[in-house]
Amino acid sequence: MSKIDDVDLSIIRMLQADGRVSFREISDKLKVAEGTVYNRVNKLRDQGVIRNFMVDVDYAKLGYDLTAVIGIIVKGGHLPEIEKKIAAEDNVTAVYDVTGEYDAIVVAKFKERDDLNKLVKKMTALEHVDRTYTMVALNVVKEKHGIEL
């Protein structure tokens, strides 16, 4: 992977702030050629630094106002296969390998408590899942999937 320089970081910051910003706007602000911005963005995509351009959605306004954080304990060396199955579930927004009491943490969003119940039962029924521990978020204080660079 080639070195990420200040121009690359500036481009990333601008795209984080507004994924719809044009290459022309970026080039004007950074005082570089539009072709340079185009090439840099493509390089960052090829390197996997920029993985996607996405919309920041307020899911609660779409009815997904139930957020669950679920700890999972898995028997044996089956964690990767269990995580892969869980990650494929539509309501799951994040799956993390973690240290500590649990092997993985899952974050998921739901419209209905019954949908949460179904997912937890589905996960618990998976072979090699020893147990789950579900926490429901009462209030979302901060929910941002990224950090300021």
Do 108 and 132 reside in the same domain of the chain?
A: yes
Do 65 and 132 reside in the same domain of the chain?
A: yes
Do 77 and 110 reside in the same domain of the chain?
A: yes
Q: What is the CATH number of the domain that holds 26?
A: 1.10.10.10
**Residue 96 covered by a domain:** yes
Do 29 and 93 reside in the same domain of the chain?
A: no
Query: Domain containing 18: what range?
Result: 6-46
Do 63 and 25 reside in the same domain of the chain?
A: no
Q: What is the CATH number of the domain that holds 84?
A: 3.30.70.920
**SS3 letters across 70-122:** EEEEECCCCHHHHHHHHHCCCCEEEEEECCCCCCEEEEEEECCHHHHHHHHHH
Do 132 and 63 reside in the same domain of the chain?
A: yes
* Domain count for the chain: 2
For 64-106, how does the pLDDT look when each residue is reduced to its tens digit (9 = 90+)? Answer: 999 999 999 999 899 999 999 999 999 999 999 999 999 999 9
Average pLDDT, stretch 4-17? 93
Instruction: Determine the straight-line distance between the first and last CA of the chain, rounded to whole angstroms.
Output: 19
For 114-130, how does the pLDDT look when each residue is reduced to its tens digit (9 = 90+)? Answer: 999 999 999 999 999 99
Do 65 and 114 reside in the same domain of the chain?
A: yes
Which whole-number Å values give the CA distances from 94 to 20, 75, 84, 148, in the listed order?
A: 24, 21, 11, 19
For 17-60, how does the pLDDT look when each residue is reduced to its tens digit (9 = 90+)? Answer: 898 999 999 999 999 999 999 999 999 999 999 998 888 888 99
DSSP-derived pairing of the beta strands 92-97 and 66-74:
unpaired
Do 24 and 69 reside in the same domain of the chain?
A: no
For 125-148, how does the pLDDT look when each residue is reduced to its tens digit (9 = 90+)? Answer: 999 999 999 999 999 899 888 788
| pLDDT for 107 | 97
**CA-derived radius of gyration, the chain:** 20
